[in-house]
Chain A
Amino acid sequence: MPPITVRVHRQNPGESKGRKQQYSVELQPAMTVLDVLHRVLADQDPTLSFRRSCRSAICGSCAMRINGRARLACNTQAAGLAARDGSLLIEPLNNLRVVKDLAVDMSGFWKSLKAVRPALIERKTEVPKTFYAIPGKEFHPLSIVQDCIMCSACLSDCTVREVNPEYLGPAALAKAFRFIGDPRDGATRSRLELYSKPNGMWDCDSCLMCNEVCPMGVKPLDAILRMREAALDHGLAQGPGPKHTLAFYDTVVRTGKVNEASTALRSLGVKLVTHPGNLAVAGRAVLRGKQPRLRHRKLRGHDQIQRLIRHVHATRRGRTE
C-alpha cells in the first residue's frame, strides 16, 4: 500500500496555539489510526504525546478528532478515511485544554461528571439483604447509557459546551439519566431538580452531535430528552426550558404547528422584551422579514397530528408501565 500523509496537531505545554506537523506513514492492511500514531512514535517522532491503552474500544483513552470529528483512534480504520479525504488529520478533542499535542486536560470532563452525583443513592427503606429483584427490561435503557466509556468524544463535539463551558454536557447528563431510571435509586426528585438547574438538561439544544459521534451508541441526547419528560412528569416546569417545551407542545396540540410568537413569550415571559439581546434578535428578524406571524391559524389535517400525539402518549405509557 502506498504511504499516506498524516497531519498531526502539535502543541507544547504553555503554548496557546498549536501547529500541524506532517508525517508520511506506510499503511498496512487493517491498520487503525492508533496503529498509525504508534508508527509515528516508534519510527519518526518520539516526542509525540497521545493517550491510549486497551486498543479495543473499551477504555476510552484515545478519543481525538480525526478528519474533523471526534472518534476513537483504536477502532477507526486508517485506510478508509485516508482514501475518502486524501489524508489523515489528527487533532485533540475540542472543548478541553490541550496539555501536549493530542493529550487534553480531562479535568473539565470529570468535574461535570461529579456534578451530577453519579452514584446510587439508596432508598431509606426496602434495601434487600441480597439483591434487588427487578425485571431485566427495566434495566435495559439504563444499560445503554452505562455503556458509556467516558471518552469525551461527545463533549468535544458538543455545540452548547463550545459556547457555555459551564454546561454539564452530554456524557454527564447521560450518566445522570442512568440514576433517574433506576428503581433502586431513592432520590429521583431531588436529582431531577438538580439537573433542571441552569447549565443542566434544559440547556441542550438538541443538535444531535453527541448521538452522532458517540463510539458506543449511548445516544446522550435521547437520555436528555427522556429526563426532560421525567422532570415534567414530576411537575418541574419552572424556568425557560420547560416553559418553552410546554408552550411549544400546547400550540402544536391546538393548531398543528408551533406558534413562534406565543412560544417565545411563554418561555421567556417579560424577559422577552426586557432583555436587550432578545430585542436585537427580534429587530433583525423584522428587518429580514422573518418575524413570526401574529395571526396563528389551525393547520389543515390538524386532526391527524392530534392522532399522532395520542399515539405517542400511548406508547410512552406502555414504556413506563
Chain B
Amino acid sequence: MTVKRDVVVVGAGLAGMRAALEAKARGAQVAVLSKVHPVRSHSGAAQGGINAAIKPEDKWENHWFDVVKGSDYLCDQDAAEILCKEAAENIYELDRMGCLWTRDEHGNIAQRPFGGQGYARTCYIADMTGHFIQHTLYEQMIKNDIEVFEEWFATSLVTANGRCTGVVALSILEGRLEYFQAKATLLATGGYARAYRTTSNAIANSGDGVAMAFRAGAPLEDMEFMQFHPTGLYGIGILVTEGARGEGAYLLNDQGERFMKRYAPEKMELAPRDITSRAIQTEIDEGRGIAGKPCVHLDLRHLGEKKIMERLPQITSLARSFLGVDPVKAPIPIQPTAHYSMGGIACDVDGQTPMPGLFAAGECACVSVHGANRLGGNSLLETVVYGRRAGRAIAAYAKKAPVADGGQEALAKEEARILELLARKEGERTSNLRGELGDVMTGKVGIFRTGADIAAAIQKVVELRKRYSRVLVGNGERVFNVALIEALELGSMLDIALCIATGALARTESRGAHSRRDHPQRDDANWLKHTIYHRHGEEVALSHAPVRITKFPPQERKY
C-alpha cells in the first residue's frame, strides 16, 4: 500500500513540527512520521534556553558575531545571519502561540546569560525550555489538524533517477511497512550522539535520518564536529543545563579551585562549550578530578534554594533522583558528555539538499549555522528558524514538482530485509556491538583526538560493520519489536561513526569541538573549509566546500 502526500516530514521534534505547520499553512498536504510520539521527541530535553536579540540595547548583529566566533569561523556566515536576524520574530510568534516564557516583573520575556555571548540574550522557561516549546508546537499541531503517523520508523529513502520520492517506514505498533510517497521529503530526525557511550542524548537519537540520506546518496557535511556538553551527570551523561552556569554556578576541581580562570579568564564558566569541556577533561586527565574520579563539581549552593528551585527545578530533581545529590546542599558531580551534532545532511538556507526532493532541518541538517562549535541556546533557535524556512520551501517545491511514481520495488526490498532480520536464528547481539561502538567512539574520537587513535577507531568501526551484517534480533514478532528497532538504529550509528572518524582523521588541525593533540593549531590556510562526505559503495569519500564568509574575517578566538 502507498500513502501519497505532497510533503512528508520525518521526525516530529521542534524542527519537524514547525516545518509541518508552515507547510500546511501554505496549502500543502502534509503527513508527519515519527518513531516516537511528537511530545516524546528529544527537543523536549533541551533545558536552558533559546537565543534572540530582543532588547533595544542588544542587536542581532552582535548575536551574529558571537555565533561566527563561537563556530571557530567555520559556519556559513549568511546562514548564521538568517538565524540571528529571524530569531526575535520566532520568539514572538511562539509567544502568540501560547508559549509560557519566563517573564520579569514588568511582563517582558526574561533572558539569562549563556556561554560565549556578549549579552544575556537567552530566553527560557525555567530549565525546561525545549519541553515548553515542544508542547506549544504540539498544541498547534492539534489545532491545525496535522496528520501524524505516530510511532512509524522510517527505514529508508526512496529515490528514482536521483530524485527523492518519499520514504519506506515501519509501523512499530502494527509491524507493517508502507511506502510514503511525496513530492518533497523533509528529514528532521535529530542528532546522533548516541553513537557515543557517554551521551546526553535519548535512546532514539541514533541519527537514522542522516544515515538514510547518506545511503541514498545525499552528501553529509562536517560530521567530525561532535559537541561535548561540559556538564553531564557523572556516570550517566544526562544533561545539566548551561543555564546553571548562566545563573552563576561554579565549576570546581578536587582542590575546590574555580579552574576556568586558567582556561578562559574573562568568560570563566561561561566560555563556549568546546573550551569548557576541554578544560574539564584536562583537569581530569591531570589528576584533579574529584577524589581521582573522572568528574568535577558543578556548585550551585551559593545561588540559594529559592533561585535554584525557581530557575533550575528540573536539574535539581534529576540530580536528586539519579545521583542522590541535592544541589541545594552539595555540588553536583559532572563530566563532559556527547551532546550535539554540528554536522549533518548538507543543505542550503531553505533546507534543500543537493538531492532533488530531499530537504533537511534541525539537528540532522548542516546548513551550516554552528560550524565547528555551537553556542548554547542556538539549537532550539535553529529548529524554529530553519524549520519554518524549510516548511515554506517544501510547500513551494511541492507546488511545482511532478507527482512521483514507482517505489514499489523499494518497499519490497525493505520488506525482504526486515523479514530476513526477523527470521535470523543466530548471530551477534545488538547490545554487544553497540557497547563496543560507544566505547571506541568515546575513547578514541572524543574530546581530545590523535591521528593514531582515530585510525584505530576506523579499523574498529569497519570490523563492527562487518559483524553487524549478521546481527541477531532474536525476536520474530512484528508488533512492537524493540529488538528489531534497536538493530536498525545500530545500523544507522555504525554508518555515522564511520563518517565521523573518517572526517576527523582527515582534518589535521584543531578547530572548535575537533581537537587534535597531534595538530593543536587551527590551520586556516588549509582547513578553513567544510568537509563533505559521499558514499562510495561501503566506503566514505571526502571532498571539500568553501566556507561562506560575508562579513567577519577569521581572527584568533579568545575568551
Interface of A with B (CB < 8 Å)?
12-13, 30, 32, 41-43, 46-50, 52-61, 75, 77, 99-101, 103, 105-106, 110, 113-114, 117-120, 122, 127-137, 139, 142-143, 146-150, 179, 182, 184-185
Q: Which residue of B lies closest to A121 (CB)?
A: B143
* Those 3 A-B pairs whose CB atoms lie nearest each other, nearest first: A120-B98, A133-B107, A46-B474
What is the bound-complex CA distance between A238 and B101, given in angstroms?
36
The residue from A46, A49, A134 contacting B480, defined by CB atoms under 8 A apart: A49
What is the bound-complex CA distance between A55 and B205, given in angstroms?
12
Q: A120-B98, A131-B91, A143-B126 are in contact. Are A59 and B44 (CB under 8 A)?
A: yes
Q: A48-B482, A61-B40, A131-B91 are in contact. Are A54 and B126 (CB under 8 A)?
A: no
What is the bound-complex CA distance between A128 and B89, given in angstroms?
12
What is the bound-complex CA distance between A99 and B322, given in angstroms?
30
A61 / chain B contacts, CB cutoff of 8 Å: 36-37, 40
Q: Which residue of B lies closest to A118 (CB)?
A: B139
Kindly list 5 other residue pairs between chains A and B, CB separation below 8 angstroms, not including A47-B475, A59-B202.
Answer: A41-B482, A53-B36, A100-B480, A103-B480, A119-B142
Is the CB–CB distance between B104 and A132 below 8 Å? Answer: no
Is the CB–CB distance between A42 and B40 below 8 Å? Answer: no
The residue from B36, B97, B132, B143 contacting A146, defined by CB atoms under 8 A apart: B132
B541 within 8 A of A: no
Q: Which residue of B lies closest to A147 (CB)?
A: B128
B44 / chain A contacts, CB cutoff of 8 Å: 54, 58-59, 149
What's the nearest-Cβ distance from chain A to residue B147, in Å?
Answer: 13
Is the CB–CB distance between B483 and A46 below 8 Å? Answer: yes
A55 / chain B contacts, CB cutoff of 8 Å: 202-203, 236, 238
Output the residue of A55, A103, A117, A131 with the most chain B CB within 10 A. Answer: A131
Is the CB–CB distance between A143 and B95 below 8 Å? Answer: no
Is the CB–CB distance between B96 and A127 below 8 Å? Answer: yes
Is the CB–CB distance between B238 and A99 below 8 Å? Answer: no
Q: Which residue of A lies closest to B431 (CB)?
A: A42
Q: A52-B203, A136-B110, A139-B103 are in contact. Are A99 and B479 (CB under 8 A)?
A: yes
Is the CB–CB distance between A139 and B474 below 8 Å? Answer: no
What's the nearest-Cβ distance from chain B to residue A76, in Å?
Answer: 8
Is the CB–CB distance between B126 and A13 below 8 Å? Answer: no
What is the bound-complex CA distance between A247 and B107, given in angstroms?
40
What is the bound-complex CA distance between A320 and B409, given in angstroms?
63
Q: Which residue of A lies closest to B315 (CB)?
A: A56
Is the CB–CB distance between B45 and A46 below 8 Å? Answer: no
Is the CB–CB distance between B318 and A57 below 8 Å? Answer: yes
Is the CB–CB distance between B322 and A54 below 8 Å? Answer: no
B106 within 8 A of A: yes
Q: Which residue of A lies closest to B310 (CB)?
A: A140
Q: A61-B40, A131-B95, A132-B107 are in contact. Are A42 and B135 (CB under 8 A)?
A: no
B481 within 8 A of A: yes
A131 / chain B contacts, CB cutoff of 8 Å: 91-92, 95-96, 101, 109
Is the CB–CB distance between B97 and A134 below 8 Å? Answer: no
Q: A47-B477, A106-B37, A131-B109 are in contact. Are A56 and B96 (CB under 8 A)?
A: no
B204 / chain A contacts, CB cutoff of 8 Å: 53
Is the CB–CB distance between A143 and B40 below 8 Å? Answer: no
Q: A127-B96, A143-B100 are in contact. Are A49 and B42 (CB under 8 A)?
A: no
Q: A30-B235, A120-B139 are in contact. Are A99 and B480 (CB under 8 A)?
A: yes
What's the nearest-Cβ distance from chain A to residue B427, in Å?
Answer: 12
B173 / chain A contacts, CB cutoff of 8 Å: 99, 105
Sample 8 A-B pairs with CB under 8 A, ordered by A number. A30-B322, A54-B238, A59-B42, A100-B480, A118-B139, A119-B97, A130-B88, A179-B98
What's the nearest-Cβ distance from chain A to residue B534, in Å?
Answer: 31
B140 within 8 A of A: yes
Is the CB–CB distance between A54 and B202 below 8 Å? Answer: yes
Q: Which residue of A lies closest to B479 (CB)?
A: A13
What is the bound-complex CA distance between A177 and B480, given in angstroms?
34
Q: A53-B40, A131-B101 are in contact. Are A30 and B323 (CB under 8 A)?
A: yes
B97 / chain A contacts, CB cutoff of 8 Å: 119-120
Interface of B with A (CB < 8 Å)?
36-37, 39-42, 44-45, 88, 91-92, 95-98, 100-110, 125-126, 128, 131-132, 135, 139-140, 142-143, 173, 202-204, 235-236, 238-239, 314, 317-318, 321-324, 429-431, 473-475, 477, 479-483
What is the bound-complex CA distance between A186 and B315, given in angstroms?
34
Is the CB–CB distance between A184 and B103 below 8 Å? Answer: no
Is the CB–CB distance between A58 and B139 below 8 Å? Answer: no
Is the CB–CB distance between B483 and A134 below 8 Å? Answer: no
What's the nearest-Cβ distance from chain A to residue B29, in Å?
Answer: 21
Q: Which residue of A lies closest to B94 (CB)?
A: A131
What's the nearest-Cβ distance from chain A to residue B18, in Å?
Answer: 15
What is the bound-complex CA distance between A134 and B92, given in angstroms?
13
B480 / chain A contacts, CB cutoff of 8 Å: 13, 49, 99-101, 103
Q: Which residue of B lies closest to A76 (CB)?
A: B321
What's the nearest-Cβ distance from chain B to residue A98, in Å?
Answer: 10
What's the nearest-Cβ distance from chain B to residue A294, in Å?
Answer: 51
Is the CB–CB distance between A46 and B40 below 8 Å? Answer: no
Is the CB–CB distance between B238 and A59 below 8 Å? Answer: no
What is the bound-complex CA distance between A45 and B126, given in angstroms?
40
What's the nearest-Cβ distance from chain A to residue B138, in Å?
Answer: 8
A130 / chain B contacts, CB cutoff of 8 Å: 88, 92, 95
Q: A13-B479, A56-B45, A56-B239 are in contact. Are A46 and B98 (CB under 8 A)?
A: no
What's the nearest-Cβ distance from chain A to residue B109, in Å?
Answer: 6
B45 / chain A contacts, CB cutoff of 8 Å: 54, 56, 58-59
Q: A56-B239, A139-B103 are in contact. Are A49 and B135 (CB under 8 A)?
A: no
Is the CB–CB distance between A122 and B96 below 8 Å? Answer: yes
What's the nearest-Cβ distance from chain B to residue A146, in Å?
Answer: 6
What's the nearest-Cβ distance from chain B to residue A176, in Å?
Answer: 12
What's the nearest-Cβ distance from chain A to residue B53, in Å?
Answer: 13
Is the CB–CB distance between B36 and A114 below 8 Å? Answer: no
What's the nearest-Cβ distance from chain B to residue A192, in Å?
Answer: 18
What's the nearest-Cβ distance from chain A to residue B34, in Å?
Answer: 11
What is the bound-complex CA distance between A133 and B479, given in angstroms?
49
What's the nearest-Cβ distance from chain A to residue B380, in Å?
Answer: 14
What's the nearest-Cβ distance from chain B to residue A312, in Å?
Answer: 26
The residue from B109, B322, B481 contacting A75, defined by CB atoms under 8 A apart: B322
A32 / chain B contacts, CB cutoff of 8 Å: 322
The residue from B107, B128, B314 contacting A134, defined by CB atoms under 8 A apart: B107
Is the CB–CB distance between B104 and A136 below 8 Å? Answer: yes
Is the CB–CB distance between A58 and B131 below 8 Å? Answer: yes
B322 / chain A contacts, CB cutoff of 8 Å: 30, 32, 56, 75
Output the residue of A13, A57, A119, A135 with the most chain B CB within 10 A. Answer: A119
What's the nearest-Cβ distance from chain A to residue B36, in Å?
Answer: 6
B324 / chain A contacts, CB cutoff of 8 Å: 30
What is the bound-complex CA distance between A304 and B558, given in angstroms?
69
